[in-house]
Amino acid sequence: MQKIKLFDTTLRDGEQSPGVNLNLQEKLEIAKQLERLGIDIIEAGFPASSKGDFQSVKEIASIVKNSSVTGLARSVTKDIDIAWEALKESAEPRLHVFIATSEIHMQHKLKKTPDEVLETAVEMVKYASEKFPVVQWSAEDACRTDLPFLARIVEAVIDAGAKVVNIPDTVGFITPGDYQSVFNYLKEHVSNIHKVDLSAHCHDDLGLAVANSMAAIEAGATQIEGTINGIGERAGNAALEEVALALHVRQDFYQASTGLILPEIKRTSDIISKLTGMNIAPNKAIVGKNAFAHESGIHQDGVLKNPLTYEIISPELVGVKQNPIVLGKHSGRHAFRTRLVELGFTLEDTEANVLFEKFKDLADKKKDITDDDLLALVIQKQVSKESEYKLESLQVQYGTNNIPTATITLRKENGEEIQEAATGSGSVEAIYNTLQRCVEQDVKLLDYRIQSINGGPDALAEVFVKVESEGTEASGRGVAFDVLESSAKAYLNAINRLIAIQQHRTKQEVM
């Protein structure tokens, strides 16, 4: 049985999704969950791109021990040096270095000849190999690269010390049969190809990312790159949970498997969805809410008699609990803490105590508290750490014959209290107009989404917003029983993130 390594780029390629910006704590939570999921390699970011990315890669590399942590670098010594500083303390320092190899990229982006590109690739792999025990080299836009040149440069970088060679479908252009042909050509024309792991990195522009990844496995790839939920630039990347389940269910065909802890899939998917603000489509394979739902009477009858009639995957296999554990107002601190640990959260005593008080407040209003509620509580606690402004009070006046008016009191980090009021065509607009007055910043609302956590009249409301100010975008989320309160929290969270981003950029410009 062939072992397929999974290379997760949720924190690098996934975070490049438009509108997604994760803070350090959120990245750490995702990294720890990816480690629990059993991911082989976690691409934690692009260290040279910013000081924030450098710090997050360094932090992740220091805490993750059971997965290899890597960072991306361009084929320049400065990028490689910065990546080494970020990754040198990790359990297995690993570098992912790339250079474009297609004619259109070499001519218009790099403005280099093929020979110059080959020389740079070899020089940078040799340089990186002096520091990193494992160097992965990627041919950007490999699938539109002239195959004889691709074979020549692959052979050269292997001789230079590359341990993994990645053949990415950077623009989501190739089809499964053609992708297999690329791998087969390299195996036939690269004499030292047996010395490396061959990796596939597919984008989903034509909806073929997972199909192409599976085709690469058939052609001999031993590593698949992608993201959880398939997030990423443009249409996204191959969804790793789909690749893993395809290999698990169809072992008879692929004769390959991964080391993924399958029952951790749903929890990982939910955490990433909530922290990125990217909702999962109901019909999304493996993790969508309809993935195990049956409405047709014929299907329902068959499943009741024998689930195998219409379910090739059991919900429990991927961590979907049919009868989730619930806590209530009589649950104690120990039961609460134990459940958080079971959900994969490691909290300091002070953090756990604060969350327990919030849990008890919630339990007074809601009879049964499920895992989804607990997940929302923890995530809300994490995102509220960026708090230049804190919501002290909110009052909204609304009537069918009156103009909606909101009165809000905020407290700044320095203790200063701010109170403002404003009107709007609706209650949410009145709240947002008031918050803009409070922070004295022109903020444009780009996206507003609301959903309930679980069902029933006592369900928590979760609001996600995306805002823009002075060319900077930020997202925010808020959770509360009341829709208006959660809307205010989400907007304020986005404003706090905007301020944090702007302050960080100002510091960089000064330095």
Asked whether residue 184 is marked as a ligand-binding residue, the answer is: no
Backbone angles phi and psi of 410, in degrees to 5: -115, 155
212 neighbors 174 (Cβ within 8 angstroms): yes
Q: Is 415 exposed, middle or buried (CB count within 10 Å of its CB: 0-12, 13-18, 19+)? A: exposed
The per-residue b/e assignment along 139-160, b for 16 or more CB within 10 angstroms, e otherwise, is: bbbbbbbeeebbbbbbbbbbeb
The one-letter amino acid code at 497 reads R
Strand partners, 97: 73, 137
Asked whether residue 203 is marked as a ligand-binding residue, the answer is: yes
Asked whether residue 105 is marked as a ligand-binding residue, the answer is: no
Q: Which two tokens stand for residue 414?
A: 């320095």
Q: How far apart are CA 221 and CA 114, in angstroms?
A: 25
Q: Which two tokens stand for residue 286?
A: 């493996």
Asked whether residue 13 is marked as a ligand-binding residue, the answer is: yes
| Collapsed DSSP state (helix, strand, coil) of residue 294 | coil
- Which residue from 125, 123, 153, 119 is spatially nearest to 137, judged by alpha carbons? 125
Helices (H) and strands (E) in the chain, counts: 17, 16
Q: What distances in angstroms separate CA 281 from CA 268, 270, 291, 317, one per listed residue?
A: 16, 12, 10, 20
- Which residue from 202, 142, 199 is spatially nearest to 13, judged by alpha carbons? 202
Q: Which residues are annotated as a binding site for Mn(2+)?
A: 13, 201, 203, 237
Q: Which residues are annotated as a binding site?
A: 13, 201, 203, 237
